[in-house]
Homo-oligomer: A and B are copies of this chain.
Amino acid sequence: MQNKYLDDHEWQIIESQWNPDNHEGSESLFSIGNGYMGQRANFEENYSGATLQGSYIGGVYYPDKTRVGWWKNGYPEYFAKVLNSVNWIGLKVEADGTDLDLNKCKVANFKRVLDMKQGLLHREFTAQLTSNIKLKISATRLLSMTRKEIGALKYSITPIDCNPKLKITPYLDFDIVNSDSNYDEKFWDSVTENVGSQKAVLQAKTKKLDFQVAAAMRYEFYINNEHFTLYPESSKKEKYAENTFEIQSEAGKTYSTYKYAAIVSTLNIPKNQLISAADNLASEAMKDGFNEIVKEQKQAWAERWTQSDIQIVGDIEAQQAIRFNIFQLSQTYTGEDSRLNIGPKGFTGEKYGGSTYWDTEAYCLPFYMASAGQEVAKNLLVYRYKHLNKAIENAEKLGFKNGAALYPMVTMNGEECHNEWEITFEEIHRNGAIAFAIYNYIRYFGDESYLAEYGLEVLLGISRFWAQRFNYSQAKKKYVMLGVTGPNEYENNVNNNWYTNYIARWTMQYTLEALEIVKTQNPTRFGEISAKANLNAVAERELWQKIIANVHFPRNEELGIYLQQDGFMDKELLQATDLHPSERPINQHWSWDRILRSCFIKQADVLQGMYLFEEHFSKEEILRNYNFYEPKTLHESSLSPCVHVITATYLDKMDEAYDLYLRTARLDLDDYNNEVKEGLHITSMAGTWMSIVEGFAGMRVKGNQLYFNPKLPKGWEKLSFNINFRGALLQFEFSNNGFKMTNNSTEAGSVIVKDEPHSFGAKSSLEKSYL
């Protein structure tokens, strides 16, 4: 059930009424981040109501001891979790001795605004503490896109018709818990607390792995825009430091605290320099001032939007939603650091450990390729390259040999974290997505040199895994793959999941091609890789070719469809419409065995394969499979609808496509699954982008050529977006009558729209009506 409490707006997310029941959800929705760190929209002042405090630093994680009911051989010993880190926003407010706490006062004129155009979070309200004390509060916050280690905020208090004594306490707090700690352990230990006048710095370290983080704060105080000199009291305790100052206020005057925090970690800076680094950065930020930092922020976001904006004219909800999705994706991953990746909840919550899933390759890569460019996309791929040795170790643990690589289902540093056998050991199609991403990257950027540089080694490891994971069935006289979990996690331990078999065979084929390409283009590097990977090309190639020629693909000839797995047709073949709404989502209402033996599909599975390999199948074949599987698909994974949107659009099922689109695009904004308080579905947001660009705009890249086949949903007057393609920033605008495009680059090129080729010159525009 949808919970729509936010206002529609093209560029902003607006909450215009205070309702504590929505607060935790809003804490997720109004999260800010800059790729380096993230902060939920927790309040600066004390709040005694329900809240999920969250402040996260990319790449700083904690290996929490695994919790299982029944240990199975091969389970990982720990689950790496995104670490809830220092509270840098904290600022306590008392007026005449009464704490400002929205849970304990009357709140009026509440407004919370996430300004996506400028990358700012703003909040204002009037709080009535007692009959005499009324305060107007206005707070603006950002995590700087240009100064990655810097968070800054302005917090203003205006007494209304009263003159309370204000006591203001800016603080830093490292005494933080992870709400998902397996054994209720706190993960941070104190290193240092220093506190002075108008400044403080804390250093803490993780109980395992010895990540160290230092956070410094500086602040200044203004009355009605005039700087005011303070003589605060400072105090500290373990993992905590604060300043406190009091001021006799006057009604109507505005008392503003500007707080600057710098957060640095041993990911980038040696331990013994953390304190000084944090201190210097915070001090510099204060010197430059809040307004300057805001100015930089606006400029940085303007540049980003130039790269990545999508405009939808005629559908304000869709417009707001896609911008929200792009905004959150851009806050989560900025692509400078190949040690980082995209957690399913980004920096907006703890769930799923903040680690890397196949979501990155299967859903996120296209967005970053088109909107953030080649270096960013490449870093996402290199992340996996760096983990190749761990993937080989992981496969060895499971009994595979000879350099076979199984990438983890969930990881922070390349090691497997997940501990459900049916996922951890069996949901191996993730390996296929990682191989496909290499192909996809090369297809998009035309950068075949990536194979020699990084790609081939990864492909080799994965193909070796597939070759060992298939076994020959004497009964079928085919190679089969037993005991897997496909993308549809509502099946476990099935035989011959069509998608997995398909992407496995494809990987082996592509690896054989890649071997040839590298051998031809870069014989030196080929020699190196051969030596390193102990490559006996002839024998391995023969086995692979035998497998490639003889993979079993379950199929129903009568219906002309591929079967999700062996035996699928033995199920009771119901449709989603046969379910009573009270049973949905079935994963909250049905026992697991019932889900498993039902025909219901959590997320695209056969259709996921047909989406990835569209050109391998006729439209009729895709239609037959879509007609069989779509009615059985419940889309109870946030990653599911986008694939169906794209396929439905391809099949001209526009109403279905649009319904699914709206659900995925506003999944979090309208909190369809009543879970937004746990964090946002960051990776599925990339699916929303795919739904528009690959779905409604029908973008494809084939043979170094960009194709579009736009089909706008009803009511959409115009759909415009920018695409980075082969170094050029291309602007497209599609309407029902025609399209415009602008090429801002200095190279000419061509594009195929609705099967018509159109050439364009350097620095030129093009406008065409459809016939």
Contact = CB atoms under 8 A, between A and B. Distances in A.
A494 B492 CA distance: 10
Contact of A475 (B68, B471, B570): B570
Interface string A66-98: 111110111000000000000000000000000
A471 B494 CA distance: 18
Nearest to A182: B69
Nearest to A68: B69
B72 A69 contact: no
A425 B597 CA distance: 11
Interface in A583-629: 587-594, 596-597
Which of A66, A68, A399, A474: most chain B CB closer than 10 A? A399
Interface string A322-340: 0000000000000000000
B419 A73 contact: no
A566 interface: yes
A67 B494 CA distance: 26
B596 A483 contact: yes
Contact of A73 (B420, B421, B587): B587
A471 B588 contact: no
Given A66-B69, A571-B482, A493 B596 contact: yes
A569 B73 contact: no
B492 A592 contact: no
A751 to B, nearest CB: 46
Contacts of A295: none
A426 interface: yes
A549 interface: no
A423 to B, nearest CB: 8
A149 to B, nearest CB: 35
A567 interface: yes
- The prevalent SS among residues of A at the interface is loop
A480 B570 contact: yes
Given A73-B590, A495-B570, A597 B483 contact: yes
A474 B567 CA distance: 11
Contact of A492 (B472, B480, B493, B566): B493
Contacts of A70: 419-420
A597 B472 CA distance: 12
A170 B647 CA distance: 79
A573 interface: yes
A418 to B, nearest CB: 9
A116 to B, nearest CB: 34
Contacts of A69: 66-69, 419-420
A476 interface: yes
Contacts of A570: 471, 473, 475-476, 480, 482, 495
Interface in A547-590: 566-567, 569-573, 587-590
Contact of A591 (B66, B73, B472, B593): B73
Given A68-B69, A421-B593, 5 more contacts: A69-B69, A70-B419, A74-B590, A74-B592, A483-B597
10 contacts: A73-B587, A397-B591, A421-B591, A473-B570, A474-B573, A475-B570, A482-B571, A482-B596, A566-B566, A566-B567
